[in-house]
Structure 1
Amino acid sequence: MSDKTFSRKLAEFAADTSFSSLPEAIVHQARRCLLDTVGVIIAGSAMADSAQAIQGFVKKCAPAGKASVIGTLLKTDSAHAALANGVAAHALELDDGSKYATYHPGASMIPAALALAEERGATVEDVLLAIALGYEVSLRIGTSVNPSHYLKGFHPTGTVGTFGTTVVSASLLGLNADELVSAIGIVGSLASGINQYEIDGSFVKHLHPGNAARNGMFAALLAQNGFTGPEEILEGRLGFAHCFSDTFNPSILEKDLGEKWEFQKIYFKPYCSCRYVHYAVEAVENILRGHPMTMDDIQSIRVLTHKNAKQGSDIPDYQTVLHARLSLQYGMGSMIVRGRAGLQEYTEESIKDERVKKIASLIEIEADPEIQKTYPEIRTTIVEITDTDGQIFASRVDYAKGDPLNPMSDEDLMDKFRDVTQTVLTAGRQKKVMDWIMDEGTLTNPIQELTDMLLW
């Protein structure tokens, strides 16, 4: 075992794991991720300009096929459907994530699984297995290279996500371990996504998971047809970890593999903004609950947090809706001015609100060395609001809502699904989709039964 490469160990785990061997809790977690991501795709498809732009591209350029572009009547090949649905899944910043691997697995993994499964006539059981395996392998890879990988400027949702979608695709295509080793090696050269969008708030961030979904399929299909990739793609001298990160913790790649699941550690999002923003928004909520104040009562606001939040979300001069979703200043300002930071607060009109801009100008963000010591296990954010009388009111959030230590229940996720899809789906269709995904009796049903409900 010790002479095997890490990609081979991961490939053998994925190729040898059957649905019947999955723990019940892992199957249930896969259902939760499927429900959450389907809701997010529906919302993004209907509400996000970037999603509608990619749908227009697919309509013009993609061939007809069997895979659904959710929220439209388009059926195309699996690669283009996964591309479009991946963009929609990430467009509203509502998708699940990992604080350890520093990326959003559902936005690429589930579009890949749905599109390929629909095209190939796969069942719910096939999809849930593929989801569990794709999440687990990519979460381990992402954790092994972060936070350095992110801090170097890469967007792990695009880079790390490709490994997960390759495993998802390999599972649904029935690749053996040797083929999957090559597929992982191939996709390492396709892993892409950089964070320059943080500077100007451009759409390209949303492209990353869709591209990861498409590239994972491409790599798996190439390997199935005899194309080879380097076996030491992860740990090699010129491999992913060396080229994309300043630190590498290889032990996470194999420790307790198949026994303890990183998949259980993901978080779900209650707010439609960058995860770093959630901590600050909750802290503001806590302060206002105990000490109600208006914007005119505030002299200054200080935020102590970790390096990732400082780098990715210290955006006082937000320019676009995407920019605002990433901005700590905007999320906090909206909560102070409006008492809300939900979907309706992230529109072109809303981000022009001068009241929120005024609050944003009062906020200073600091990366705190003591907080950094516990990152990523505890991603503490401390907010201190000083009022015009010089009084300081503070709140500390260690585990934002949705973290496994502050979890969203199944009912919370269903409430979220109802909320984000209410302008698109009737209550009857919402219930039908939720019941179908969460019903243990649908395991042998074709996934097309679900995707047919998502076309209109």
Structure 2
Amino acid sequence: MHNQSAHEISHESSVLSEYIAGTLDRDIPRDVALKTKHHILDTIAAILSGSRLRAGRLAAAYVGSFGGNPEAVVLGTSLVLPAASTALANGMAGHADETDDSHLAGRFHPGCGIVPAALAIAEHQDRSGQDLLRAVALGYDIGARTTMALGFNRPDTARHSTHSLGPAFGAAAAAAALFRFDATRVRHVLSYATQQASGVPFWQRDKEHVEKAFDFGGMGARNGVAAATMVAAGFSAVDDPFSGKHNLFTAFGENPNPSQLTDGLGSRFEIMRASIKKWCVGSPIQAVLDATVALIETNNLKAEHVRRVIITMPDDRIHIVDNRTMPDVCVQHLAALALVDGTVTFESCHDRERMNDPAVTAIRRLIELVPSAELTIATPARQAIVEIETTDGRHLRHHAKAVRGTPDNPMDGSEIEAKALDLMEPIIGSGRAAELIHNVLRLDELTKVRDLRRWLAA
């Protein structure tokens, strides 16, 4: 086939491919390394807990039926399978519910796609924990910059799904780095990633979090690994998927700005702008629960005190959580559940039977959801206001501005570890979960990522 000559390669492709190629030889700042460990830990916990949810179980059974070379472990199982199969299963388990991390500016869930891909190739290539850290941080950089460079408008009007595109390019970049490809082969990986790029935002109509798990995590993880392993097998490709008559931006861009692919690369680390969820529910609901629980705790509020609830949310994402059939993405259900129980837990917000609980449905009928254009443009983003009128005539109000777990109000290390332990303990036991946390937090000291298998497998 005819490849573009060097002078035809765009500045963005040249800079990006050289940067990805040098990843494993480049130090990252200590604060970036620590935050990367926290996101890897949070994602591993999401995968392990998700391995017992429907999407995770289906994905593991699906890839297990094909078998193949034992290259990487399917977390929470005894399966050791080809890297692409493993990435698919772990990616779907990572987004089997709404436990995993998010990135607001990139409008995607990075961990559930990038971490499974990086883990699979790190095992496949027998890389160190330090290599894994650097590759994951890179994946967040490339995934976020790709979606931002495409220039999508509001989430409720976008034609393509950033939640599918971001993980795909982040996973491909992380996998290419772990293969130690030179710049030319990196561009070929990005070319195959572009050809596999997909994602239509009808995932919002998914009623069981199965296709959504594929769209957000499994597809991008698998496709990124496939792109890298194909190039490793000798596949050639177009040298620059980001320029020429037809390219990524002409196919997917709304208001494209290719320069954002490399803007701040090496100085602005996108993982520092990613969020770890306090609540294991959809991202737009985080502020609502922050506000609701604050009102409960401050006013010793009980369900029987409630006469009316008004929830005001950004109008560009309210549709994602309005009266959904899945409990962990239904804002009315979760607010009512919090008022009945005093808070929500991982168990309660995944209990479908509670959606029919008379005590919960009684409070849910009192809730009015109000879209706000002002909150859509407010800074920090994803704010919410909860107002409660009580039976004794009080009017209570809490405006949650900086959501807990976001860069504006981050959880500390002990909170992140406690969340991970709570999620992993039922799957691998308290002792192994504590040991896994310890080893993830010392990833930069591990000579082999494969050494984690003893804690990641069932």
Normalised to the residue count of structure 2, the TM-score between the two structures is 0.91
The C-alpha deviation readout for 1:219-250, integer Å capped at 9, x for no partner, is 223344242146243x7665444443533344
Amino acid at match of 1:351: M
Q: Does 1:9 align with 2:12?
A: no
Choose the corresponding residue for 1:222, options 219, 230, 255: 230
The DSSP-based 3-state class of the residue aligned with 1:394 is strand
In the alignment, structure 2 segments of 5+ residues that lack a partner are: 1-6
Q: Identify the residue that residue 377 of structure 2 maps to in structure 1.
A: 373
Choose the corresponding residue for 1:110, options 99, 110, 115: 115
Counterparts in 2 of 1:238-277, with a 5 A limit? 238-277=246-285
In 2 relative to 1, CA 293–441 (structure 1 residues): closer, same or farther, beyond 3 Å? closer
Q: Does 1:384 align with 2:387?
A: yes
Counterpart Cα distance in 1 of 2:151 and 2:396: 33
Counterparts in 2 of 1:339-378, with a 5 A limit? 339-345=342-348, 346-374=350-378, 377-378=380-381
Q: Identify the residue that residue 105 of structure 2 maps to in structure 1.
A: 100
Q: Identify the residue that residue 186 of structure 1 maps to in structure 2.
A: 192
Q: Identify the residue that residue 211 of structure 2 maps to in structure 1.
A: 204
Counterpart Cα distance in 2 of 1:420 and 1:217: 26
Q: Does 350-359 or 34-43 show the bigger shift?
A: 350-359
Q: Identify the residue that residue 40 of structure 1 maps to in structure 2.
A: 46
Equivalences, count? 447
Amino acid at match of 1:22: I
Q: Identify the residue that residue 78 of structure 2 maps to in structure 1.
A: 73
Choose the corresponding residue for 1:85, options 83, 86, 90: 90
Contact kept, 8 Å, 1:101 with 1:144, in 2: the verdict is no
The DSSP-based 3-state class of the residue aligned with 1:453 is helix
Amino acid at match of 2:385: I
Q: Identify the residue that residue 201 of structure 2 maps to in structure 1.
A: 195
In 2 relative to 1, CA 380–230 (structure 1 residues): closer, same or farther, beyond 3 Å? farther
Counterpart Cα distance in 1 of 2:119 and 2:82: 12
In 2 relative to 1, CA 309–292 (structure 1 residues): closer, same or farther, beyond 3 Å? farther
Query: Following TM superposition, by how much is the alpha carbon of 1:300 offset from its aligned partner in structure 2, in angstroms?
Result: 2.7
In 2 relative to 1, CA 270–426 (structure 1 residues): closer, same or farther, beyond 3 Å? same
The DSSP-based 3-state class of the residue aligned with 2:406 is coil
Contact kept, 8 Å, 1:329 with 1:363, in 2: the verdict is yes
Amino acid at match of 2:264: D
The C-alpha deviation readout for 1:4-59, integer Å capped at 9, x for no partner, is 3433322222113344432222222221122111111111113x011111111122
Q: Identify the residue that residue 425 of structure 2 maps to in structure 1.
A: 422
Counterpart Cα distance in 2 of 1:243 and 1:295: 51
Counterpart Cα distance in 2 of 1:56 and 1:342: 28
Normalised to the residue count of structure 1, the TM-score between the two structures is 0.91
Counterpart Cα distance in 2 of 1:446 and 1:9: 30
Counterpart Cα distance in 2 of 1:230 and 1:370: 44
Contact kept, 8 Å, 1:279 with 1:380, in 2: the verdict is yes
Counterpart Cα distance in 1 of 2:76 and 2:372: 43
Counterpart Cα distance in 1 of 2:151 and 2:100: 19
Counterpart Cα distance in 2 of 1:275 and 1:69: 26
Counterpart Cα distance in 2 of 1:140 and 1:26: 17
Query: Following TM superposition, by how much is the alpha carbon of 1:146 offset from its aligned partner in structure 2, in angstroms?
Result: 5.7
Counterpart Cα distance in 2 of 1:446 and 1:174: 16
Q: Identify the residue that residue 294 of structure 1 maps to in structure 2.
A: 302
Counterpart Cα distance in 2 of 1:89 and 1:363: 31
Counterpart Cα distance in 2 of 1:432 and 1:405: 30
Amino acid at match of 1:382: I
The DSSP-based 3-state class of the residue aligned with 2:428 is coil
Q: Does 1:142 align with 2:147?
A: yes
Counterpart Cα distance in 2 of 1:161 and 1:149: 19
Counterpart Cα distance in 2 of 1:427 and 1:175: 39
Counterpart Cα distance in 2 of 1:200 and 1:282: 26
Contact kept, 8 Å, 2:336 with 2:363, in 1: the verdict is yes
Choose the corresponding residue for 2:336, options 329, 333, 337: 333
What percentage of aligned pairs have identical amino acids?
24
Query: Following TM superposition, by how much is the alpha carbon of 1:274 offset from its aligned partner in structure 2, in angstroms?
Result: 0.6
Amino acid at match of 1:159: L
In 2 relative to 1, CA 378–174 (structure 1 residues): closer, same or farther, beyond 3 Å? same
Q: Identify the residue that residue 399 of structure 1 maps to in structure 2.
A: 402
Q: Does 1:412 align with 2:421?
A: no
Q: Identify the residue that residue 231 of structure 1 maps to in structure 2.
A: 240
Q: Does 1:453 align with 2:455?
A: yes
The C-alpha deviation readout for 1:187-210, integer Å capped at 9, x for no partner, is 122122333232342320011211
Query: Following TM superposition, by how much is the alpha carbon of 1:396 offset from its aligned partner in structure 2, in angstroms?
Result: 0.8
Counterpart Cα distance in 2 of 1:374 and 1:145: 23
Query: Following TM superposition, by how much is the alpha carbon of 1:349 offset from its aligned partner in structure 2, in angstroms?
Result: 2.1
Query: Following TM superposition, by how much is the alpha carbon of 1:133 offset from its aligned partner in structure 2, in angstroms?
Result: 0.9
In the alignment, structure 1 segments of 5+ residues that lack a partner are: none
Query: Following TM superposition, by how much is the alpha carbon of 1:340 offset from its aligned partner in structure 2, in angstroms?
Result: 2.3
Q: Identify the residue that residue 437 of structure 2 maps to in structure 1.
A: 434
Amino acid at match of 2:275: Y
Counterpart Cα distance in 1 of 2:443 and 2:108: 29
Q: In angstroms, what is the RMSD of aligned CA positions? A: 2.4
The C-alpha deviation readout for 1:148-179, integer Å capped at 9, x for no partner, is 27332543232211000000110111111122
Counterpart Cα distance in 2 of 1:70 and 1:378: 33
Q: Identify the residue that residue 175 of structure 2 maps to in structure 1.
A: 169
Counterpart Cα distance in 1 of 2:9 and 2:369: 47
Q: Identify the residue that residue 31 of structure 2 maps to in structure 1.
A: 25
Contact kept, 8 Å, 2:130 with 2:444, in 1: the verdict is no
Contact kept, 8 Å, 1:149 with 1:244, in 2: the verdict is no
The DSSP-based 3-state class of the residue aligned with 1:424 is helix
The DSSP-based 3-state class of the residue aligned with 1:21 is coil
Amino acid at match of 1:422: E
Amino acid at match of 1:80: S
In 2 relative to 1, CA 358–154 (structure 1 residues): closer, same or farther, beyond 3 Å? farther
The C-alpha deviation readout for 1:262-319, integer Å capped at 9, x for no partner, is 22111101211111111101111112223333334333322222234312111x2x33
Counterpart Cα distance in 2 of 1:216 and 1:200: 24
Amino acid at match of 2:204: E
